[in-house]
Amino acid sequence: MKKERKTMSYARPNSAKKESAGCLFGLLTFILEMLGLIPGIYIVKFVDDTFNNSILTQIAVFIFPFLGMVIVVLLMACLEERIVAARHPEVSPMDEAEKYLPKEPFERVPHFGKLFGDDQVDELIGSYSFSPYIDKKGNSSKFINLSEDKKWMQLLGSYLPLDLLCGYNENTNFLYTIDGAIIQLPKRAKKTDVKDQIREFLDARGMYYKFLPSSSEKVFNEISKKYGTLSRADWSRMRYEWEKNILSNKKVFRELGFQKYTPHSARVKENQYFFERVLTANELENTALAVRRKEIPLSDYLVFEKYKNEYSVCNGIELIKLVNDSQKKESLDFLFDCLRDVDEAYFMPAAELLKDLPADLVFKKMEKNARRAYENRDANRLAGILYLSKLMGHETEYIRKKKEEIRKGKEEELQKTIESVYDTRKYVRYMMEE
């Protein structure tokens, strides 16, 4: 196998500009602090003229001028995050980024083709068939095709792994990757109809970055150490960990202009970040606190279809870990929904959490879901249930009977279902072995 090596040049955040902006913000704060002294001085003069008492005058001299400065400092601290967000709404903090970008035409697999090598690219996408992306209005895209498992996007004829893409800026015509690279889209991607479809597709998947987070490459390099060869790595889980690490840095969180998630009832339509992006540990703890106090029902977060992407589903699983034991029982249906695809970031955490819940309740749900997966010929979901069965050391009565029927040659259809599980999920093969 070819050794992976990063060969693409990419732009880096312009730290000089950011430092300059910070100095200007500090100077503005200082000037306003000085202006904050003026009302205090007038108040001191008023106290002295009105009461003609030296003690009151001294107290006023000590309190009011500095009170004006403190008020200014607090106001500026509150405004800083909004000012930063307003300065960078959708504009990349890259200085003349285009001169760092490669000049070669849009490739078959831009950027990642060099990392994987031609043989790996053929292996990764050669077995897939692609079909047009269908938007929420039911229209077929002319420019975007998706693989069956929704892991690869074909954009303007080139292939891109969705788990490894983190952002898009339509003004600069850039795509951003989690390893800190910038992909220059071809000129035809600047056309309004193409831009609209790319934006609509990414919006439907939740939040995405309008410029490259400054710590992208550093975070990726740290995470990738435990995943080994990128072409063989668990991309979905890697992406989830990347998101968590990126947003755990308060400075980067402010730089991105994100607003914090505030727990609220499902009736409120604003601030739906819980279902759109990975939350920070602090945001999850605040939400869990509201659920534990029964200010918000846990059920508001247990509707799988409300989540816009596979990474935000992990918010629901992390929340369940933080609520009371009595409340965790409500989450069984949601957690079994998370067993629908063993390739997604939410699968393993959901299986591990189910293992720790009351076994009798889990086994009952396992029996019901195994029957449903078989009857619907849902090989992906069946693979997830088989994994949980092996993890908990419990075989459902339904699967046991079906396996016995296979031995007697009475159920060829189940054998076909199980073979499809084998073909698509190699690491669950042993689960069906005697």
Say what the pLDDT of residue 249 is.
82
- The answer to whether the predicted template modeling score (pTM) of the entire model surpasses 0.85 is no
The alpha carbon of residue 415 and the mean position of all alpha carbons in its chain are separated, in whole angstroms, by: 37
Task: Decide: 230 and 116 in contact? Cβ < 8 Å.
Answer: yes
- Please give the C-alpha separations between residue 343 and each of 58, 279, 355, 427, in angstroms, as whole numbers: 71, 21, 19, 11
CA distance 390 to 392: 5
pLDDT of residue 259: 78
Q: Residue 128, SS3?
A: coil
Q: Which long-range contacts (CB under 8 A, 24 or more apart) does 169-174 make?
A: 169/90, 169/91, 169/92, 169/210, 169/211, 170/90, 170/195, 170/198, 170/199, 171/90, 171/91, 172/92, 172/94, 172/97, 172/98, 174/92, 174/97
Spatial distance between the Cα atoms of 315 and 213, rounded to a whole number of angstroms: 21
Quote the radius of gyration of the chain (alpha carbons, Å): 28
Question: What is the pLDDT at residue 122?
Answer: 80
Q: Which of 408, 405, 432 is nearest to 419 (CA)?
A: 432
Return the closest-CA partner of residue 5 out of 108, 89, 117, 84.
Answer: 117
User: What is the pLDDT, as a whole number, of residue 247?
Assistant: 86
pLDDT digits (tens, 9 = 90+) for 320-345: 999 999 999 999 999 999 999 888 99
Cα separation, 240 vs 279, in Å, equals 10
Task: Give the pLDDT score at 261.
Answer: 84
Tokens read off for 254: 């402010």
Distance CA 63, CA 244 (A): 44
Q: Is 53 helix (H, G, I), strand (E, B) or coil?
A: coil
- Cβ-in-10-Å burial (0-12, 13-18, 19+) of 233 comes to middle
Q: Would residue 115 be called left, alpha or beta, if left means φ above 0 and alpha means ψ between -120 and 50 degrees?
A: alpha
Report the pLDDT value the prediction gives residue 16, as an integer from 0 to 100.
44
Side-by-side strand order, sheet with 158-161? 130-134, 140-147, 152-155, 158-161
Q: Residue 369, Cβ neighbours under 10 Å: how many?
A: 24
Distances from the Cα of 84 to the Cα of 53, 81, 89, 120, 190, angstroms: 46, 5, 9, 42, 27
Q: What angle do CA 343, 347, 353 make, to 5 degrees?
A: 160
How many Cβ atoms are within 10 Å of 135's Cβ, its own excluded? 15
Q: Where are the domains of the chain?
A: 15-87, 99-206, 363-434
Reduced DSSP (H G I as helix, E B as strand, rest coil) percent helix, strand, coil of the chain, to 5: 60, 10, 30
For residue 257, with 0-12 CB atoms within 10 Å meaning exposed, 13-18 middle and 19 or more buried, which class applies? middle
The CA distance from 122 to 231, in Å, is: 11
- Spell out the per-residue pLDDT of the chain, length 434, in tens: 333 333 333 344 444 444 455 555 566 666 665 666 666 676 767 766 777 777 766 776 667 666 666 666 666 666 655 554 444 444 444 433 443 344 445 688 999 888 888 778 888 887 788 999 998 888 899 999 999 888 999 999 899 999 999 999 999 999 999 999 999 999 999 999 999 999 999 998 888 899 898 889 999 999 988 887 777 778 899 999 999 999 888 887 777 777 788 887 766 666 788 999 999 999 999 999 999 999 999 999 999 999 999 999 999 999 999 999 999 999 999 999 999 988 899 999 999 999 999 999 999 999 999 989 888 888 888 889 989 998 999 888 888 887 777 666 655 555 555 555 544 444 344 344 43
pLDDT at 314: 96
Question: Torsion angle of alpha carbons 401, 403, 408, 414, nearest 10°?
Answer: 110
Q: What's the maximum distance between 2 C-alpha atoms anywhere in the chain?
A: 107
